[in-house]
Amino acid sequence: MSISVKGLTKIFGHHRAVDDVSFDIPKGKLFCVVGPSGCGKSTLLRLIAGLETPQHGSIELDGQRVVGDDVFIPPEDRRVGVVFQSYALWPHLTVAENVAFPYQSQGFAKAEARAKAAEHLQTVALTQYAGRRPEALSGGQRQRVALARCLAGKAQTILMDEPLANLDPHLRETMETELRAFHDRSGVTTLFITHDQREAMALADIMAVMDQGHILQIGPPQQIYAEPANETVARFIGRGTLIKSTVQDGRARVADQDIAVTGVSDGPCILFVRPENIQTGPDGWPTQVTSVHYRGSHWEVTVNSAGLDADIQLNVQQPVQVGEQLRLIFEKAWVLPG
Ligand code: ADP
Ligand code: MG
């Protein structure tokens, strides 16, 4: 189902946890909300699930209003499944029984419920574990049981609140791949919430960056990465450097170099430069290395320079030492709007 949120506001005491939030998620899309801890992500999810009531705004699921203008459809009638960080499986039931449970509570006979559950176990690739108890599964497998149970609950939409946060990094990456595959197979509209921008970029069809109760930018991950709407988004998503500059005749000045920028009017501006848009070469602007981190395929380096009022981040392919000189060539920059 599609999800449409308009002017949604939730205030706790004097704190606006979710402040005038609006967005549309088309049917079948994987929508990731990413933002720092405490920015209001879980509250937003709970509002959509029906676990919180907003002071203002409306929510429509498939065009049907579930919240707003004196309407409040209770959570159990929204056909929305929620997967939390803790998997909340029944420990005394097997995998198959856990997944069959929603059908049995809908009044299906045991055999029929089990047959339907078997289909969902196939979707999450857990058929061979049907007879096990949750305690005999890995974290990732338990997560998949929780997903299958969402499907059994006839969820037309799945809301996930940091479901991978408890997993170790390796399993997390595997689960990212599996979640994406599961989404593509099931076609269920998914709202995925995380504080991890790398996870959001890896999974999202559409990404929303949230801060202090507000949505700062919505778009495909590539667009948010390449064209952040403001400084907060630029700082939160990936690495990069903000540099004060001036635009004249479609060119922005950085150190002694000019970078072509399109569609920007003349005047002072703030440039955002990604590490991969900085090269080094003998004719570059001189800087000094201040920190180096080895990342396997490359070194992440920070440099500074007397003539540039910024710590500049770039990647290099050869080892460098702190204090060494690097000469930078700026190849591309994004002018922050406004
Ligand atoms: P996130 O999931 O992004 O970490 P939350 O939505 O959990 O953020 O919380 C957003 C803000 O609202 C936080 O400052 C939190 O303390 C506050 N908050 C959340 N739930 C409640 C509540 N039930 N009562 C009071 N304050 C709350
Ligand atoms: Mg949260």
Q: Cα–Cα distance between 254 and 4 in angstroms, integer? A: 42
pLDDT, residue 123, reads 80
pTM reported for the whole predicted model: 0.88
pLDDT at 73: 95
- Report the length, in residues, of the chain: 338
Structure token digits, residue 50: 């029906």
149 & 21 share domain: yes
State in Å: Cα 161 to ligand 2 middle: 7
Residue 20 sits in a domain whose CATH number is 3.40.50.300
Give the Cα separation of 207 and 143 in Å (integer): 22
Which residue shows structure tokens 């408890």? 166
Statement to judge: residues 11 and 45 lie in one domain = yes
pLDDT of the residue at 296: 96
Asked if residue 326 has pLDDT above 80, the reply is yes
Cα 336 to averaged position of ligand 2 atoms, centre (Å): 29
Q: For residue 32, what are the β-bridge partners? A: 192, 207
Give bridge partners of residue 320 from the DSSP assignment: none
Does 134 share its domain with 205? yes
Tokens standing for residue 227: 């064209």
Question: Which of the listed residues 178, 196, 228 is the one where a domain comes to its end?
Answer: 228
Residue 194 beta carbon below 6 angstroms from any ligand 1 atom = no
Residue 233 inside a domain? The answer is: no
Is 189 in the same domain as 254? no
Is any atom of ligand 1 closer than 6 Å to the C-beta of 287? no
Is 104 a member of any domain? yes
Q: d(Cα 75, Cα 332) in Å, to the nearest integer?
A: 48
For the CA of 36, the nearest atom of ligand 1: 3
pLDDT at position 8 is 98
- H/E stretch holding 142 reads helix 139-152
Average pLDDT of every residue of the chain: 92
pLDDT digits 0-9 by tens, 54-92: 999 999 999 999 999 889 999 989 888 887 766 678 889
Residue 74 lies in a domain: yes
Q: Residues of the chain with pLDDT > 70: what percent?
A: 99
User: What is the pairing mode between strands 80-83 and 30-34?
Assistant: unpaired
> What pLDDT score does 278 carry?
97
Q: Which of 160, 193, 228 is the last residue of a domain?
A: 228
**Residue 47, ligand 1, Cβ within 6 A:** no
Closest CA to ligand 1's atom 12: 17
Per-residue pLDDT at 288: 96
> What does the pLDDT read at residue 230?
96
142 with 189, same domain? yes
Q: In this structure, which residue's CA is closest to atom 6 in ligand 1?
A: 40
Quick one: average pLDDT of 238-263? 93
CA dist list (Å): 235 to 35, 205, 224, 231, 272: 11, 21, 12, 6, 10
Model confidence band, residue 172 (pLDDT cutoffs 50, 70, 90) = confident
Q: Which two tokens stand for residue 91?
A: 């420990």
Strands (E), the chain: 3-12, 15-25, 30-34, 56-61, 64-68, 71-72, 80-83, 157-161, 189-194, 206-211, 214-219, 241-248, 251-254, 257-260, 267-273, 278-294, 299-305, 308-316, 325-330, 334-335
**Lowest-confidence region among 9-13, 151-155, 156-160, 250-254:** 151-155
Q: Please check whether residues 217 and 259 belong to one and the same domain.
A: no
Does 234 fall in a domain? no
Q: Containing H/E element for 201? A: helix 197-203
| pLDDT for residue 85 | 64
For position 178, what pLDDT does the model report?
A: 78
Rounded to an integer, the average pLDDT of 134-153 is 85
**Count of the separate structural domains present in the chain:** 2
**Does the Cβ of 165 fall within 6 Å of ligand 1?**
no
Ligand 1 pocket member 321 (CB < 6 A): no
Shortest-distance Cα residue to atom 24 of ligand 1: 12
135 with 185, same domain: the answer is yes
In this structure, the answer to whether residues 214 and 326 fall within a common structural domain is no
State the Cα–Cα distance between residues 238 and 101, nearest whole angstrom: 42
- The answer to whether residues 245 and 110 belong to one domain is no
Final residue belonging to a domain, choices 228, 248, 268: 228
For residue 88, give both structure tokens: 């909340």
Range of the domain at 18: 3-228
283 plus 204 within the same structural domain: no
Residues 26 and 122 in one domain: yes
* Cα 40 to ligand 1 centroid, rounded to whole Å: 6
Kindly list the distances between the CA atom of residue 96 and the CA atoms of 32, 90, 130, 194, 321, in Å, as whole numbers in the listed order.
29, 11, 5, 29, 56
- 197-237 pLDDT tens trace: 999 999 999 999 999 999 999 999 999 999 999 999 999 99
Tell me: do 224 and 243 sit in the same domain: no
